[in-house]
Chains A and B, each alone.
Chain A
Amino acid sequence: MGLHKIVQILIVVTFLGVYEIATRMHWLDSFTFTPFSTMVLNMVENLSNQEYLKNHFGITAFEILTSFLGAVIFGIIIGIILWRSDFIHHIFQPYLMLFYAIPFFALYPIFISIFGVGPFPVIVIGLLFSMPAVITNTALGFREIRKVLIKVGLSNNLSFRQMLLYIYFPAAWPLIFTGIKLAAAYSIIGVIATEFILSARGIGYTISYAYNNFDLNGMYSSVLLVVVISLVVNFVLGLIENKLYQRNV
């Protein structure tokens, strides 16, 4: 393990340690902060609760996964269309660039009136929020393939299917994967944020419910769970990327 890794870990451990002591000694306002160890205990307790597991964690995991996979699949398909057609690409490029400049969640009253409440609108919003990242990166990845690699394929007399499988996809993969990683982060944000306002189930809902009822422990345990989910997703995607990165520098 390199020195920088050790320092990185030390920073987190020190921060959590100081925070733990500060809350236990009541240096920090106990109506705002709870000790880290309490958060962890509450989180574990929540996760061993069947109802929480099924109605909140399970629903949220399902919503995140569905919106993420949907964003990846549709995003790649639409990205391919934008790559093959200059016309469509030129039309939609500015909209895609502007998408993340719009404060998406400020539009929530509209979402409620269109989609109502429940898991379906949550998934749709998570998907809409994360898909543009995949579209943009897929189109860019395919468009930026070095011409000479395509020439190698053509000079080997490859069919379009072979070009796609053996040249285009592997060459564009690093950028597509960047889009996929962004989509994972965006779909987590999209799902949790939508649950705050549009749902009666899910982790986002438990956070806002606990907050409104001054249930500090309940709130922090769910917040911690969201952080843990993000870290796990990031870690898994990082592993996959590392495996592919070796092949793609």
Chain B
Amino acid sequence: MGSTLIMAIVIYFNIGTKGRRTMTDLLMKVENLTKIYSDGSKDVIALQNIDFSVEKGEFISIVGPSGCGKTTLLEILSGLRSATSGSIKIKGKAVNGPQDSIGIVFQEESTFPWRTVLENVEFGLQMQGKPKSEYRQKAIKMIELVGLKGFENSYPHQLSGGMRQRVAIARTLVTEPEIVVMDEPFGALDEQTRLILGGELLKIVEQTKATVVLVTHSIQEAALLSDKIVVLSARPGRIKHLIKSSLPKPRDAQALTTPEFAEITQKLWSSLEEESLMRQESNEDKVVG
């Protein structure tokens, strides 16, 4: 109990003192977002009063116990699902439906098996009706950036899982969306590949100056990549903590050994542990009741 209080103070303190950035260019504002699924007879509150903002160039992670509505939140952010109440605004304009300013990288394998790497990456720009000369050039550059040079004419089934996810990331980034939303993009990969790709992702993001909202259940991933971490509570999903990271940039796997990294993971751990315990208790109540 005491340690929780201290933790809360530490977190508050962190937000108070280190929560300053030189850029304060507000890009996305999420206000009072609530999502209720009604399943005929009863309503399930998936998300409740979610509030946060994203600044331009920021890397935000959303973590939480499983079933807390992370993916729902992400689908609402990307316009694939509508919220029950509340609003999302990008540069002051309300989001309702998919739009070019938001790019999504999905958790599952999402490359088009019938297109080559190059054709996959070209997809978004081609659909936007850009001239071929333009999108081909941009796609080639992006493929080089994600480290797949030489694989332009390969088909996805000829690549490894990690490489396919790079293709998916390149396909999203090449359209230069204002915000890139990622749903556990490395979830299907092993821990080692996941951290290596995470480090590479950071470099790419820095080069393309993309703003990223990442949903993950990996504490390490969140701690390594983010400027700001939103911790959601167990269902109904509410914002439990907002943790800002002071890890120096640019970061790579080296950052895993720094004391700052340990501090952030520690905070995340205790915050999430509490949630998981609470969830278990409420489940036990249900069993008894």
Contact = CB atoms under 8 A, between A and B. Distances in A.
Interface of A: 146, 148-149, 151-152, 154-158, 162, 166-167, 170-171, 173, 244, 246-249
B274 interface: no
Given A146-B108, A249-B157, A155 B78 contact: yes
Given A151-B106, A155-B80, A246 B155 contact: yes
A171 B106 contact: no
A167 B111 CA distance: 11
Which of B79, B113, B124, B155 is the most central at the interface, judged by chain A CB atoms within 10 Å of its CB?
Answer: B113
B127 A162 contact: yes
9 contacts: A148-B106, A152-B104, A154-B98, A155-B98, A156-B98, A157-B127, A171-B114, A248-B113, A249-B157
Contacts of A155: 78-80, 98, 102-104
Contacts of A249: 113, 155, 157
A151 B74 CA distance: 13
B242 to A, nearest CB: 27
Contact of B104 (A151, A246, A247, A248): A151
A246 B123 CA distance: 19
3 A-B pairs with least C-beta separation:
A247-B114, A249-B157, A170-B114
Which of A173, A244, A247, A248 is the most central at the interface, judged by chain B CB atoms within 10 Å of its CB?
Answer: A247
Contact of B110 (A149, A157, A170, A173): A149
B155 to A, nearest CB: 6
Interface in B183-229: none
B112 A156 contact: no
A152 B110 contact: yes
A155 to B, nearest CB: 5
A246 B114 CA distance: 8
A247 B112 CA distance: 9
B109 interface: yes
Given A152-B106, A152-B112, 19 more contacts: A146-B109, A148-B106, A148-B109, A151-B80, A151-B106, A152-B104, A155-B79, A155-B98, A155-B104, A156-B98, A156-B123, A157-B98, A157-B99, A157-B100, A170-B112, A170-B114, A170-B115, A244-B114, A247-B115
A247 B80 contact: no
Which of A152, A166, A249 is the most central at the interface, judged by chain B CB atoms within 10 Å of its CB?
Answer: A152
A249 to B, nearest CB: 4
B67 to A, nearest CB: 19
Given A151-B80, A151-B106, A162-B127, A247 B113 contact: yes
Nearest to A147: B108
Interface in B85-103: 98-100, 102-103
B199 to A, nearest CB: 25
Contacts of A158: 127
Which of B80, B100, B114 is the most central at the interface, judged by chain A CB atoms within 10 Å of its CB?
Answer: B114
A247 B128 CA distance: 23
Contacts of B103: 155
B181 to A, nearest CB: 9
B106 A166 contact: no
A154 B124 CA distance: 11
Interface in B133-180: 155, 157, 175
B98 A149 contact: no
Contacts of B109: 146, 148
Which of A155, A167, A247 is the most central at the interface, judged by chain B CB atoms within 10 Å of its CB?
Answer: A155
A105 B110 CA distance: 45
B161 to A, nearest CB: 14
Contacts of B127: 156-158, 162, 166
B123 to A, nearest CB: 7
Nearest to A153: B127
A249 B157 CA distance: 6
Contacts of A154: 80, 98
Nearest to B106: A148
A2 to B, nearest CB: 20
Contacts of A170: 112, 114-115
B115 to A, nearest CB: 7
Contacts of A167: 112
Nearest to A162: B127
A158 B80 CA distance: 13
Interface in B52-101: 78-80, 98-100
A173 B98 contact: no
A149 B80 contact: no
A151 to B, nearest CB: 6
Given A155-B103, A157-B100, A173 B78 contact: no
Nearest to A167: B112
Nearest to B100: A157
Nearest to B79: A155
Contacts of B99: 157
Contacts of B98: 154-157
